Structure 1
Amino acid sequence: MQRYTLTDYEDASPATRSVYDDFMRTTGATEVPIWLQSLGHSEALARAYWERAKGTLFSGNLPLPLKEMIVFIVSARHGARYCSACHAQNVLSLDKALAFADLQSFLASDSACMLPRCYQNVVRFASKVVADANGLEDEDFEELMEEGFTREEICEIIAVIDMATMFNVYTSSLRLDLDPQYRAIL
């Protein structure tokens, strides 16, 4: 059963088109992704989801490649096929030192050693949050601070994890099909 309908650009209301336009302008995309088209029936929902993603990913102090890696890791831990594929592609487009096989290897072995050093502790932290946010210890925060992250940046890391979780629930519940440019990693 198809659990969603898509609203393409031509059929979208003017208000929804403005959300689509903002997405494409901000991301440099030439097409509206399936996740956003699946919200296109409601300008309010499309705007809310897009504003959450835009505010979390495209502002703040953390570099975008690190944020994309966090979303990828969280999505993979949740088994979110759509988000893990999308953000694997984003990680690879932003960090040319990594290859698709590196991400597959990481997921298979759970070894962060092939990731850039600054990613390693963040990946461990994000994995702990996904497993049990209530189980975090002060030491988990101290480890990130020793790596050079401020308290504000740690809050930003948590906000990225939270945003990813929200999108994971949405895309997985609907079983969104992958956009043509995404390659399934799970």
Structure 2
Amino acid sequence: MTAPILPLVEYEDASPQVREVYDDIMETRGSDWINNFWKVLAHDPATLKRTWQDVKQVMAPGALDPLTKELIYIAVSATNGCEYCTYSHTAGARAKGMTDAQLMEVMAVVGMANETNRLANGLRPPVDAQFLPEHPET
């Protein structure tokens, strides 16, 4: 287990601005605890609030269902090597019904996408005209 760069800001030690964000996190998630990511960000209440508002907006129901959003988050987190986010969003996806088979399939896609991206970046093939969006004349 890694040690945090900054100590965790627990609820009882938090400023009123931080407690307000913590309360919103718990209410939004239907939870009675704050995970360590937020406790570290609490050292800068403005960053904590901005980041939470952005996450809350992006992860809210939309054109993509909540499980799909978690699967995307897992894929990006694994590619970026973020252990914390990979664990956190795997737990979130499991809570939304993800199976072990789905996780393994996501990881297979992640591995394949990373391999073919590196090949394409190294070899620099021109993008096929059929892949480009059509833009009507304006």
User: Please, what TM-score do these two structures have when normalized by structure 2?
Assistant: 0.73
Q: Paired residue for 1:95?
A: 97
The code of the aligned residue for 1:24 comes to: M
Distance in 2, Cα, partners of 1:74 & 1:57: 14
Of 29, 33, 48, the residue aligned with 2:50 is 48
* Offset of residue 42 of structure 1: 2.0
| 1:75 aligns to 2:77 (yes or no) | yes
Structure with more relative contact order (C-alpha pairs < 8 Å, separation 6 or more): 1
Q: How many pairs align?
A: 122
Q: Percent identity?
A: 30
Structure showing greater Rg: 2
1:54-73 correspondence runs (5 A): 54-73=56-75
In structure 2, stretches of 5+ residues that fail to align are none
CA deviation profile, 1:126-157 (whole Å, cap 9, x unmatched): x57xx58x998773889xxxxxxxxxxxxxxx
Distance in 2, Cα, partners of 1:17 & 1:52: 18
In structure 1, stretches of 5+ residues that fail to align are 113-123, 143-186
CA deviation profile, 1:73-122 (whole Å, cap 9, x unmatched): 110111110001111111111125x12x6525653xx158xxxxxxxxxx
1:1-186 correspondence runs (5 A): 2-96=4-98, 98-99=99-100, 102-104=102-104, 106-107=106-107, 110-111=108-109, 127=113, 139=131
User: Please, what TM-score do these two structures have when normalized by structure 1?
Assistant: 0.56
Contact 1:8 1:40 in 2 (8 A): no
Distance in 1, Cα, partners of 2:15 & 2:85: 26
Distance in 2, Cα, partners of 1:141 & 1:86: 35
Partner secondary structure for residue 36 of structure 1: helix
